[in-house]
Structure 1
Amino acid sequence: MNKELEHQFVTELESNQNIVHKVCSLYTNNRDAHNDLFQEITIQLWKAYPKFRGEAKFSTWMYRVALNTAITLYRKSKRRIKTQDYESVVFKIKAQEYDDTEERQLQLMYDAVKQLGDIDKALVFLYLEDKNYTEIADTLGISEVNARVKMNRIKNKLRTILNP
C-alpha cells in the first residue's frame, strides 16, 4: 500500500476511533479484552480499507467492520478474544485518552444491553449513536422496516431487564 493511502487511513481512524472504543466497550468486560478487540478491529479495518469505495460515510463503514469483527470474535470465544499480530504494518496513531465518565454513567444500560443477542446489541448501539433507521439498516444489512420493528421489541425487552 502506498503512503498516501496509509496516511488517509490513519487520519480517518484517529478522528473516528471513539466508534471503535464504544464497540469494544459493548463487547468486552475488561481493559485487556477492550485493547485486544480494539487492535483486532483496527487490523480488520486496515485490511478492508483498500476496498472502501466511499459509497457510505467512513464512519458508517467503520461501524459495520467494527461490529462484524466484534460479533465474529465474540461468537468464537465468549471469554477471551484472541488477536493476531500484524507486524508488516506499523501505525503511528496518536491514542486519545478514552474518557470513561459517560461509560460509567451508562453502565447499567450497558449491562442490560449486554444481555441482548449480538444483532440486537449492534442495533441498540447504532440507535444510541443517533443513527437514523436508514443508516442502521444499511450498517446491519437489514431492511429499514425490520430495523424499526426490532428496535421496538428491544426497547420493551430493555424495560423488562431494567425494571424487573
Structure 2
Amino acid sequence: MNKELEHSFVTNLEQNQNIVHKVCRIYTSDPDSHNDLFQEITIQLWKAYPKFRGDAKFSTWMYRVALNTAITLYRRSKRSIKTADLDTMNFKIKAEEYDDEVEQQLKLMYAAVKQLNDIEKALVFLYLEDKSYKEIADTMGISEVNARVKMNRVKTKLKKILNP
C-alpha cells in the first residue's frame, strides 16, 4: 500500500481512536484484553481501509468495523483469540492515555451494560455516543424504527438491572 494511504489511515485512526477505546471498554474487563481488542480492531480497520469509499463518515465506518470485530471475537471467546503484532507493520500510532479514573463515575453503568447481550451493548454504545437513530440504524444495518424499538427495550432492561 502506498504511503499516502497509510498516512491517511494513521491520521484518521489517531483522530478517532477514542471510538475504539470505548468499544474495548464495553467488551473487555481488564487492561490486557482491552489492549488485545484495540490491536485486533486496528488490524481489521487497516485491512478494510482500502475499501473505505467515504460514503459514510469515517467515524461511522469505524464504529461498524470496531463493533463487528468486538462482537465476532467475543462470541468466539471460548476459543483463544489470535492477534497479529502491530510492530510488524510500518506505522506507529500515538496512543492517548486511557484514564480510568475519569470513568469511575460510569462504573455502575458499565457493569450494567456488561450484562446485556452483544447487540444491546452496541446499541447502548452508539446511543451514548449521541448518535442519531438514523446513524445507529446505518451502523448496525437495521431500520431506524427497529433501532428505536430495540433502544427502548434496552433502556427498560437497564433500568431493571440498575434498580432491582
TM-score, normalization by structure 2: 0.95
Matched residue pairs, number?
164
Q: Do residues 110 (structure 1) and 105 (structure 2) align?
A: no
How has the CA–CA distance of structure 1 residues 4 and 38 changed in structure 2, closer, same or farther, with 3 Å as cutoff? same
Alignment of 1:42-53 (within 5 A): 42-53=42-53
Alignment of 1:8-157 (within 5 A): 8-77=8-77, 81-85=81-85, 89-157=89-157
In 2, are the aligned partners of 1:33 and 1:81 still within 8 Å (CA)?
no
In 2, are the aligned partners of 1:37 and 1:81 still within 8 Å (CA)?
no
In 1, Cα distance between equivalents of 2:161 and 2:17: 30
Range with bigger deviation, 73-82 or 114-123: 73-82
In 1, Cα distance between equivalents of 2:136 and 2:78: 25
In 1, are the aligned partners of 2:39 and 2:86 still within 8 Å (CA)?
no
Look up the SS of the partner of 2:61 in the other structure. Answer: helix
In 1, Cα distance between equivalents of 2:86 and 2:39: 9
Q: Do residues 5 (structure 1) and 29 (structure 2) align?
A: no
Aligned-pair identity (%): 80
How has the CA–CA distance of structure 1 residues 78 and 31 changed in structure 2, closer, same or farther, with 3 Å as cutoff? farther
In 1, Cα distance between equivalents of 2:25 and 2:86: 23
Look up the SS of the partner of 1:65 in the other structure. Answer: helix
In 2, Cα distance between equivalents of 1:118 and 1:22: 14
TM-score, normalization by structure 1: 0.95
In the TM superposition, residue 88 of structure 1 has moved relative to its aligned partner by 5.0
The code of the aligned residue for 2:131 comes to K
The code of the aligned residue for 1:63 comes to Y
In 1, Cα distance between equivalents of 2:138 and 2:101: 30
In 2, Cα distance between equivalents of 1:64 and 1:14: 17
In 1, Cα distance between equivalents of 2:102 and 2:125: 14
Look up the SS of the partner of 1:106 in the other structure. Answer: helix
In 2, are the aligned partners of 1:24 and 1:70 still within 8 Å (CA)?
yes
